[in-house]
Structure 1
Amino acid sequence: MAAAPPGGAVPADLATAAFSRQQNLVDFDDELVRRQRCFVVGSGGVGSCIGMTLARMGVAHVTFVDMDTVATSNLNRQLLFTPDQVGMNKVDACKQSLERSHAFRTSAAALHCNAVTRWADIVAEAQEQHMTAIFNGCDHGGFFDIALQALARALDSPCLYTAASTYAYTYQVDSYGTAAGEPCLLCTNPPAHSISIDDFAAASGAGRASEDAAGAITAEEALAVLKRVYQSEHELLPGMVRRSIAAASDGAATLPRTRGAVLRFRSALTGEILAELTPARVLAHTSLAFIPADPKPDTSSVGSWAVVCCMGSMFAVNCWVQRLAGQDVPPMTIANINAQRGSVWREQMGWDSFKFHPEPSDGCTLCGFKAPGMPAEEVAAMAGAGGAAAGG
């Protein structure tokens, strides 16, 4: 997709003068920043603020991706949106606002789509625009996060991956490079499939399952459950199901109807999915509808506000700039800006931050270090204990 030029003609002297203070910063490489081409996947409370910050820093290009439209409830914290844009596609509103008020030397593009089902469009945009940074503000789940980092590692040009998420008073930022030997998201926070034996019990009308339920789960039944959970008919699912059942039941074509067996099936299925999300294979998929979404509780009653969205987004951009400059950045940071709860407003603005430097280990399908999926001995131990923690 061709990028649109910035809205209106920005005088050359303004485009230069606007960044004079930034250029005066010690150890800040303005020329390096202005060459960056950034992919912002998810254009809500996190993504819109990230895009605005990137434009105010003067990166070369920003592409926004989202499938949603602007709602009135977005206006308190999604900084690029204005009341007259309610009902617009979020990506079009982001592009419009960026070009109108924030882009002095930055071009912008909008891609209104479901990034999971239209993965081919995501890959094409990343390749055509020669993206050097991917910012993930999408809440689809852990497997999609892995796919985006695999995409960052698969591109011809070095591409940094940064993700940010918020919940009430808390934000989390993940920051990863692509150099050999660096840990990846799969090393530090591997995704887990949430399917359980109760999903199979519900499908058969049995309600919650007992550990000693009679019969076995066939490949057809397992596939039907996955199609319902995924809401997808993806062509890879039947083969994944058959191989996962065989791996979980010593080569048999059916799966014992027990929590331990379903736990083994789930672990094998996780490995099947991750095998498709490697840098070598992720570019070839036209759709990622074979990956599950994380369970999403209704967060509308939890609340969200501008401070946590702005702080999380800007901290994500800061981590990216530091990593771009070759500085040491923790792969994961979790911050709580309401660490000291109280009835007085000033007491509520507490602060707590946790930084994690996990060490990679051998065998990772994404970066070459850590083996995906649950270790066999852990599966056996949990299955022996009834698997209640993971199976229920």
Structure 2
Amino acid sequence: MKTQVAIVGAGPAGLLLGHLLRAEGIEVVVVERAAPDYVLGRIRAGVLETTLTDLLDRLGLGERMHAEGIPHDGFNLADGERLIRIDVAALTGREVMVYGQTEVTRDLMDAAPSRGLEVIYEAADLAPHDVEGDAPYITYTKGGAQHRLDARFICGCDGYHGPSRKAIPASAGQHYEKVYPFGWLGILADVPPCNHELIYANHANGFALASMRSATRSRYYIQVPLDEKIEEWPDDRLWDELALRLGPDAAAHMTRGNALEKSIAPLRSFVFEPMRHGSLFLAGDSAHIVPPTGAKGLNLAASDVAYLSEALARYFRSNDPDGVAGYSARALARVWKAERFSWQLTRLMHRFPEADAFDRRMQLADLDYIASSVAAQTTIAENYVGLPL
């Protein structure tokens, strides 16, 4: 089989890139190691910047998002006793959309057949080959048979653990990583949110987040040590801790319910550069990971895809290699700014094991300054809503 662009990974980044390239008339095949149900079963966040919502609208795929998503024009920081509202709309003129990553993936997946986007699922043993040259290819196994997909370019949208980044020689790249000494214990429950906007809370016991998937489904998190066991957190204990960390106002409006899903996710910051090696490009989690504090993971993948689709369209439409050559530097400039914001917000809102009483007072002083400074709130709002492409 042969195509112009082979995409490894049918998550939201790979599918979005596939749709954007098909809209330009470029031949694309997406290859995914898992089954569709498994892809849709990945529970992820869903605070969407206008970068992503605009791309979905441009493709004509935003109808359900606008019908079921929840526009947010602000969010809250809490210090255990008060809410500090960041009025994103007033400070930036923009808003974010709360719409689950699973739903974004479903919309992209459902639209693929009618848009001529071929997606091959359950492709085992995926591996890119000859990525240094002009004729790379992918091999995979499906139905007990070995298959080969030839392409002009390969785009690795296959996540942190995927094979694409591993196809780049160690001598050709460099990675930067910070592993945080805690994780997020999350609970998903069919209960109304305690606030119509997100609450990021800094408490002496640790971080907490009140979020939502809809007007009737809530997602909450608390910071826990990396060696914590889910079994040590029955629902009642978790709800009690959330009420304490989020503060009295949130607790007064909190509805408790049985957990639909409960899990612990580790936090890390990671960047691999460059994001291009020969005919292989990296996009999304295959090139970078951010702690979820800043809600940047999916949105960074969307900006990567926007840059990459533009560069590939220029190449195939006009035989112009400049966009392809400049993709990595252009994408990484935005990646590092998002990494900085996510790192700063994580440092501000979490309790670190090595932190002492002075560090705690610095966090509280920072929050007090943010509460009284329009300039500080504007900086946070600009980064939260998404820096320009």
Same fold by TM (over 0.5)?
A: no
The structure with the greater share of residues assigned to strand is 2
